[in-house]
Structure 1
């Protein structure tokens, strides 16, 4: 067993626990409340959807707690409710993940239900059809939602012909085409021990956790069977696309280059993004677009990191007749930041906020487990939480300039608008 790691922010001690069967988890011991929260992630998400079956991974994640082993859907849910066990599954472009929360007194039952959901999902046809109907209803609603329409068109234009360009929730046609056999095959390919990341937080001894790790995950297949996902970059920068919707204001999605979590320039890019559009009420875009000009209620940017690409993603919405002005202001602020950089005061305030607020991401057991799984999934190291604030504090103007050159580039953006924008 490896040495524990002390941290300056968040949990005080992270212990790597390896079960007798070789299943590893990062653990934070806490006896403050008699709870256990577990997070986990399997390599391989919606990017693994079979061609023509987009939405399969999302459907799979929704079905894992809809019956497993000897329990049908209702019986499985009753078992969870009987002991107030919270079990959820999620999917992203690169991962199938989930979380478990239970009282320590019910840990045996909780981990056993998790084992059944992962190892013996039933995929009963009635459950499949119920979840399919829910997804199709959601897609029909989204077809008239400007934000969803703009987002789906943005990824299609940004990553054409690539798995990242496919909507993770699928289409009406692809969801209708998914069969039970597709779900069984996808489950067999993805749910495996290697590349599995697990974090556990709460009042559980190392020995007890190790026992649960083997019992829950130990019998899963050793390795996943993953389709290769090619590296890619956001394309279409410098182009504008309109999805015609009869609405009084246009929803706008815009984007440009990014850097991944694993990249040495991620932290400088993160600070840069906070100054540009990530800093809620303090960012340049918020101040110029909303506060000074009243063009939009909200505007912002965020860094998006996938396994095989990264980008900076921006959002806003404004009256159709003011779309041109809004885009001009956004482009102008990007150009100013690229050419002149932030002021020293902006940089110091951004770093102070990002270091001071970091601990807020660790104020519940579930948040801690989620953070640890993400850090493990990105291979940032078990000591990342201890190092992170020092990395932010060390960012200087030269680091910001380097990140701006990579991320902002020449200022060209891929822009998608859903509405009837009045632009030349």
Structure 2
């Protein structure tokens, strides 16, 4: 799931220090390279065009005829959070089987044609959306779009591929059920969201996947794939007129409207509870969370910058400095903002030797509190903004990445000129903004903690909740 697979992994700008260390030299070189990339990106003046087909289907396009390649990303609003409670993982299973045969082509013929024409067609499902991606050479454009149309409008869901994919999903879930990181994340969301759909695993459980039938898969497609819920981004060797025709040819047969749905807004629990799930492993995995900030909140960019300073900035973050660099307690420690359509949370995590889990948790809470009480320094804020604006061009590393951004811009209602304005939003964050939002956002006493392992120095306050599926 794309929204849940995202992990903060960027190597960030180190805080200023006297002298010149290898890390500082690396940082300076990185900043120079990023500045050059940004200059090149701005000079290229990427133009996002709004294309509306004769049938009224809209897409955002970045036209680029440099290479004979087209990348298309699509998303339908509404994902795994809409799955029936006893059939969690339905959207995920649809995403795994929808390209296993469509129209007159069975699974082998469909996949064989994709391979023979070097067409990449993939689907995925998150809690709030169902997404797809298509990449093709220009010469195979028409057939690629036709295969996409067949997958969306005439999926077969034949017995053999459905059972084969079901077995693969169940095997993967069985492996995940023993993965401490997966366990910690799943239990944390259960604690934070209770009976809300966001508490359910988007890829289901072994029991819920077993309950899903081919008719369930067909019903999902019929009910969820409506043009009113569709967002499309395209990058590459195609003109607006060509794209307009392709939009009608590819998506025109979808229903005008998807089945109506509603998901209640939810505020993540902030009870400050601690759960320990015993496992005989030498290193415990720790997951922490509290209520977060919505993507459409006016303070979002200030929160984004502050989180970078606290735990999102790799080697530049306070958590890495205190937990890893100064004390060697963990290889990785991080935090990130996780905004959903109907709620949000701040997630943090680490893994450390059982004997030092209590010490690591104390340090994380200490830094959480220090950020809330004092906020960042002016130096930290300047460094963070410099990196976040300078590294922005790295997101444009492929046509598919850009197409995905175009879809996200539409779904989040960021405006067609967002790529031009985004860095201005980051630059506009003042020290007063950062301190105010840090005080508003971070609540160390509200942190919910899940530890998987055999930790020392950790006292649980309750048992783990059931999985609810």
1:174 equivalent among 202, 208, 227: 208
2:181 & 2:415 partners in 1: Cα distance? Answer: 36
Equivalence for 2:150: 116
Which deviations, in whole Å up to 9, do the C-alpha atoms of 1:244-297 show, x marking residues without a partner? 111111101101121122111110000010000000111000111111111101
Equivalence for 1:77: 111
Pairing of 1:203-282 with structure 2 (within 5 A) = 203-282=237-316
Q: Secondary structure at the match of 2:229?
A: coil
Structure 2 residue 396 is matched with structure 1 residue 371: no
2:437 & 2:220 partners in 1: Cα distance? Answer: 38
Structure 2 residue 63 is matched with structure 1 residue 29: yes
1:149 & 1:359 partners in 2: Cα distance? Answer: 35
2:87 & 2:69 partners in 1: Cα distance? Answer: 39
C-alpha contact (below 8 Å) 2:269/2:291 kept by paired residues = no
C-alpha contact (below 8 Å) 2:193/2:199 kept by paired residues = yes
Structure 2 residue 187 is matched with structure 1 residue 153: yes
Structure 2 residue 380 is matched with structure 1 residue 346: yes
For the structure 1 residues 331 and 101, does the alpha-carbon distance in structure 2 shift closer, same or farther, using more than 3 Å as the test? same
Equivalence for 1:195: 229
2:221 & 2:356 partners in 1: Cα distance? Answer: 48
Structure 2 residue 372 is matched with structure 1 residue 327: no
2:161 equivalent among 127, 135, 155: 127
Which deviations, in whole Å up to 9, do the C-alpha atoms of 1:392-415 show, x marking residues without a partner? 001011211232133203542011
Equivalence for 2:425: 391
Pairing of 1:81-120 with structure 2 (within 5 A) = 81-120=115-154
Q: Secondary structure at the match of 1:21?
A: coil
Q: Which runs of 5+ in 1 are unaligned?
A: 1-6
Which deviations, in whole Å up to 9, do the C-alpha atoms of 1:198-256 show, x marking residues without a partner? 01000101111001000001110111114311000111431101111111111011011
1:226 & 1:291 partners in 2: Cα distance? Answer: 51
1:196 & 1:10 partners in 2: Cα distance? Answer: 29
For the structure 1 residues 9 and 262, does the alpha-carbon distance in structure 2 shift closer, same or farther, using more than 3 Å as the test? farther
Q: Secondary structure at the match of 1:13?
A: coil
Q: Secondary structure at the match of 2:295?
A: coil
C-alpha contact (below 8 Å) 1:8/1:385 kept by paired residues = no
Q: Cα distance, 1:301 vs. partner?
A: 0.7
1:9 & 1:209 partners in 2: Cα distance? Answer: 25
2:50 & 2:253 partners in 1: Cα distance? Answer: 21
For the structure 1 residues 111 and 194, does the alpha-carbon distance in structure 2 shift closer, same or farther, using more than 3 Å as the test? same
Structure 2 residue 98 is matched with structure 1 residue 64: yes
Equivalence for 1:136: 170
C-alpha contact (below 8 Å) 2:372/2:441 kept by paired residues = no
**What is the root-mean-square deviation in Å for CA atoms of aligned residues?**
1.3
Q: Cα distance, 1:346 vs. partner?
A: 0.3
Equivalence for 1:42: 76
Count of matched residue pairs:
418
Q: Secondary structure at the match of 1:329?
A: helix
2:249 & 2:172 partners in 1: Cα distance? Answer: 36
TM (norm. structure 2) is 0.87
Q: Secondary structure at the match of 1:251?
A: strand
Pairing of 1:2-17 with structure 2 (within 5 A) = 8=42, 12-17=46-51
2:199 & 2:291 partners in 1: Cα distance? Answer: 16
Equivalence for 1:4: none
2:87 & 2:63 partners in 1: Cα distance? Answer: 42
Equivalence for 1:54: 88
1:282 & 1:261 partners in 2: Cα distance? Answer: 24
Which deviations, in whole Å up to 9, do the C-alpha atoms of 1:43-93 show, x marking residues without a partner? 110001112000111000011111111111110001101110000101100
